[in-house]
Structure 1
């Protein structure tokens, strides 16, 4: 990825110390960018935490490995990026927010069944044809059973407080023809106007992905660019949706 567009950014007034929670594909990519490109952008990696600490061996300098997430305050982070399981935020989100802003970035996937990581009753469902709707209903009912595949829906529910988790509809579709792509469609429609017509917006996104992958190829770059973009904003405490 070219970084020239980021050079010369005025980062003297924004967060500089960054902590990474999770060391899967996204975490590894962010750590690599922070170690190689972070210094010229005014960003300093201060810790990396993973549930399986052994996964960091040989790739994350020992001084940056955080063994106990509860001790993150000792590293004085300005921004913490969570790229782990949603349970981590449920368990430690409040503690993280005591010390730093929390960048909450995820994508949802509608793809080949092998790209899903489902839990509860959804995990036992089997497609009966080449394309099957596994879930259609309020996002609140989907998130607990598809925590890795419903993040775009959850972000929409948070960004639209007048609708929330009960009135934003989530649809999870298994399509055997989509072996190397994740597809996201967002449809928004307003109430009928005086003429009976409604305002509507429909976006369609196709993110290339390796067969069976949870994370699309473009998502890795998107996370890095979102982190850099977040650090250009005036520093404010809280969770950032990008």
Structure 2
């Protein structure tokens, strides 16, 4: 969908008020887009929050800096975009949902070990060869230990409720050859048909990335497009996966 398709729509409706939680690379990109393109798309940035408020100094107007996340209701947001860390949603998700829709945007990756941000037992694992499987099993067991590297898997579990987090399989691979690339493969198969053959889909995605980066180069643009697309949907409370 092209941005130009939204311009006419923005003139006929009240601007959607958007808050950004997190001011890392993705947060900075979304804030920049909202400040420069938001008005013509019918989007108004009403606050930016970051755990380290000093990071916003000099780049986010003081009037838009939210010092206390518990005070977000005072800004009356229609949509809150979390691009910080899953713990923020664990701690404040219920409070956010009292006032706005929550758009949780993440992209998982399989890449060079330096691109992982692992916790728990996975954080102590070391690859012994050029390519090693760090985890293969139910997505439910992976998400707590790789919250920033398992989001595509978690989205698949939500999109396939008949399988869910216990029957969707997640595989996390450390590959030393992928120094500047995040690679995601999705394999889907259905039940056997009358001929005994099953419908199958295999997608392969390669996203260029800086060495050691969690966020791929194309991901920044994808997050902005997702935010704009979500704002075109009918407004209703809840968590939206776009």
Q: Normalising TM by the smaller chain, what interval?
A: over 0.9
1:64-114 CA deviation, whole Å, 9 max, x = no partner? Answer: 010110110000000000001101011111111110001111110100111
Q: Could you tell me how far apart the structure 1 residues matched to 2:126 and 2:69 are?
A: 37
**Residue matched to 1:81:** 81
8 A contact 2:26–2:220 mirrored in 1: yes
Q: Could you tell me how far apart the structure 2 residues matched to 1:204 and 1:104 are?
A: 23
Q: Could you tell me how far apart the structure 2 residues matched to 1:191 and 1:155 are?
A: 21
8 A contact 1:15–1:235 mirrored in 2: no
1:158-191 CA deviation, whole Å, 9 max, x = no partner? Answer: 1111111101100000101011110010100111
1:1-242 correspondence to structure 2 within 5 Å: 3-10=3-10, 12=12, 16-242=16-242
Deviation at residue 131 of structure 1 after TM alignment: 0.5
Residues 5 and 206 of structure 1: CA distance in aligned 2, closer, same or farther (over 3 Å): farther
8 A contact 2:78–2:99 mirrored in 1: yes
1:23-54 CA deviation, whole Å, 9 max, x = no partner? Answer: 00000000000001101111100000011111
Q: Could you tell me how far apart the structure 1 residues matched to 2:149 and 2:58 are?
A: 30
SS of equivalent to 2:147: coil
Deviation at residue 6 of structure 1 after TM alignment: 3.9
Residues 15 and 205 of structure 1: CA distance in aligned 2, closer, same or farther (over 3 Å): farther
Q: Could you tell me how far apart the structure 1 residues matched to 2:237 and 2:190 are?
A: 32
8 A contact 2:20–2:81 mirrored in 1: yes
Residues 109 and 11 of structure 1: CA distance in aligned 2, closer, same or farther (over 3 Å): farther
8 A contact 1:13–1:234 mirrored in 2: no
Residues 42 and 7 of structure 1: CA distance in aligned 2, closer, same or farther (over 3 Å): same
SS of equivalent to 1:236: coil
**Root mean square deviation, CA, Å:** 1.6
Q: Could you tell me how far apart the structure 2 residues matched to 1:218 and 1:55 are?
A: 24
Deviation at residue 140 of structure 1 after TM alignment: 0.4
Deviation at residue 12 of structure 1 after TM alignment: 4.4
Structure having greater relative contact order (Cα 8 Å, sep ≥ 6): 1
Stretches of structure 2 that go unaligned for 5 or more consecutive residues are: none
8 A contact 1:14–1:235 mirrored in 2: no
Residues 13 and 120 of structure 1: CA distance in aligned 2, closer, same or farther (over 3 Å): same
Residues 76 and 201 of structure 1: CA distance in aligned 2, closer, same or farther (over 3 Å): same
Q: Could you tell me how far apart the structure 1 residues matched to 2:185 and 2:6 are?
A: 30
Residues 12 and 239 of structure 1: CA distance in aligned 2, closer, same or farther (over 3 Å): farther
Worse overlay, 10-19 or 35-44 = 10-19
- Count of residues in correspondence between the two structures: 242
